Every structure is written in C-alpha cells, then in structure tokens.
Amino acid sequence: MYMEINKEEIFRTHRAQKFALWLSMIGMFMLFASLSSAFIVYTASGVDKGIKTILPSAFIYSTIVIVLSSVTIHFANKAVKKEEFAKQKTFLLATIVLGVLFFVLQLHAWSVLIDRGIYFINTNASQSFVYIFTGMHLAHIIGGLLVLIRCLIGVSRKIPYIRNLYRMELAVIFWHFLDIIWIYLYVFLLLYQ
C-alpha cells in the first residue's frame, strides 16, 4: 500500500514537535524551580545555613561565555536562513567551543569552592545545593552540546535544507533556554550569597 502524505501534515508535525520542545522546557524549568524552593526552605531553617561565601568569579566568566554562545548560535541560525552553510558551520563550531568552555569554567568554579573548603559533602547543605544547581545545569548542557553536534554533523553531511533548518530551529530554542536557566540560577545564587 502506498500512502500519500500531505505536505500540510508534515508541517503540522514539525510545529507539534517544536511545541513538544517548549513543553519539555516547562518540565525542566519545574525541576530547577523545585530545587530553588527546596533551597529557600532549607536555607531558612537556621542561621548557620546559607551559602556563606562570595561566589567564585569563574561564574561571571562562564555567564559571559554562555551569553556569547547564545549570540553565536543566533548568527548560525541567521546564516542557515540565508543558506550560507559555511558561515553556519563556523558559528555552530564557535557555539560548541563556547559551550565546552562554559563547562570547563563551571568545573573550575567548583575547584575554587573546594579550595575555600566548601565541599559538596557538607553539613550546611545550602553549600551542597550550589553544586546541585550547577551540576544539574551541566547535565542539561551536555544534552545541549549533543544537539549542537548533531546539527553540525547534519550540515557537514549536507542533509536536505529543510531538515537542516528545522534541526537548527530546535537547537536554537533549546540553547537559549539553557542560557536563560543559567542566568536565572546565577542571579538566584547571587541573591543568596
């Protein structure tokens, strides 16, 4: 049997998948929201609780890096819309490099904290929460990097334009989301430092 499929139906599927991505971001947001509320409740439970240190400056650099990566992926997306694939590749690569740099900077921030004697295993769990926040975010960053690499492989293998465009569209939304989540977490932690 040969089934014919409407073009309209394909576009509808694409729209639905994009919507599913937005929904899953609501789910991820709930994860961080619940962690934040757990942090607030825990920190309020005693005067000896709280972060009790100035956040490492590595967090500022990592914030700059991830914002930059959002800019580069924006340009990559612009390039793919103009069908400038070489440019798209360069910007995608830049985004991936910045993403990895972000990852490294976060790990560096952890080592700074450890040098200060602020360990993950800690009787003041507010300080453990800093690791949980950043760690859970990094777990999502790994997912984001995989998505970006898939885009890069796609454009290198010259997949059909419409699929390239679509992949990029999803990747851009997700990467911006990760950026925004990090800014939220950073501001949240700054307020509690």
Partner 1 sequence: MSSTAITPEASFQDSHEEKQSFIKKYVFSTDHKMIAKQFLITAIIMAFFALLLSILFRIQLAWPDKDFPVLEFFLGKWAEGGRIKPDFYLALVTIHGTIMVFFVLTAGLSGTFSNLLIPLQIGARDMAAPFVNMLSYWFFLGSCVVMTASFFVESGPAAAGWTVYPPLSAVPTAISGSGLGTTMWLLSIFMFIISQILGGVNYISTILNMRTKGMDLWKMPLTIWSLFITAIVGLVSFPVLVSAVVLLFFDRSAGTSFYLSDLVIGGEILPNEGGSPILYEHLFWFLGHPEVYIAILPAFGIVSEVLSINSRKPIFGYHAMVYSLMAIAVLSVIVWGHHMFVTGMNPFLGGVFMLTTLIIAIPSAVKAFNYTATLWRGNIRFTPAMLFAIGMVSFFISGGLTGLFTGNATIDIQIHDTYFIVAHFHFVMGSASMFGMLAAVYHWYPKLYGRMLDNQLGYIHFWLTFIGAYLVFFPMHFMGIDGVPRRYYAFTEFPFMEKWVSVNILITWAAVIAGLAQIAFVWNFFYSMRNGKKASKNPWRATTLEWTTEVKHIHGNWEGEIPTVYRWPYDYSKPGHPDDFIPQTVPHSETMSSNLLQDFHDNEEAIKIQKEWNKENNRVESES
User: Shortest approach of partner 1 to residue 113 CB, angstroms?
Assistant: 14
Give the DSSP letter of residue 45.
Answer: T
Residue 113: closest CA among 43, 40, 189, 42: 189
| Site membership for partner 1, residue 43 (CB under 8 A) | no
Q: Per rule CB under 8 A, is residue 157 in the interface with partner 1?
A: no
Q: Which of 28, 71, 93, 147 binds partner 1 (CB under 8 A)?
A: 28
**Binding residues among 83-102 for partner 1 as defined by CB under 8 A:** none
Closest to partner 1 by CB, 26 or 54: 26
89 neighbors 155 (Cβ within 8 angstroms): yes
Q: Which is nearer to partner 1, 23 or 191 (CB)?
A: 23
What letter represents residue 71's amino acid? Answer: V
Dist. CA 6–CA 136, nearest whole Å: 41
**Token digits for 105?**
């900077």
Q: How far apart are CA 49 and CA 59, in angstroms?
A: 22
Region 132-151 residues binding partner 1, contact defined as CB under 8 A = 132, 136
Alpha-carbon dihedral sign for residues 39, 191, 118, 52? negative
Q: Which of residues 78, 122, 149, 188 is near partner 1 by CB under 8 A?
A: 122
Q: How far apart are the first and last CA of the chain?
A: 65
Write out the residues near partner 1 by the rule CB under 8 A: 1-7, 9-10, 12-17, 19-21, 23-24, 26-28, 30-31, 34-35, 38, 41-42, 45-46, 48-49, 120-125, 128, 132, 136, 160, 162-163, 166
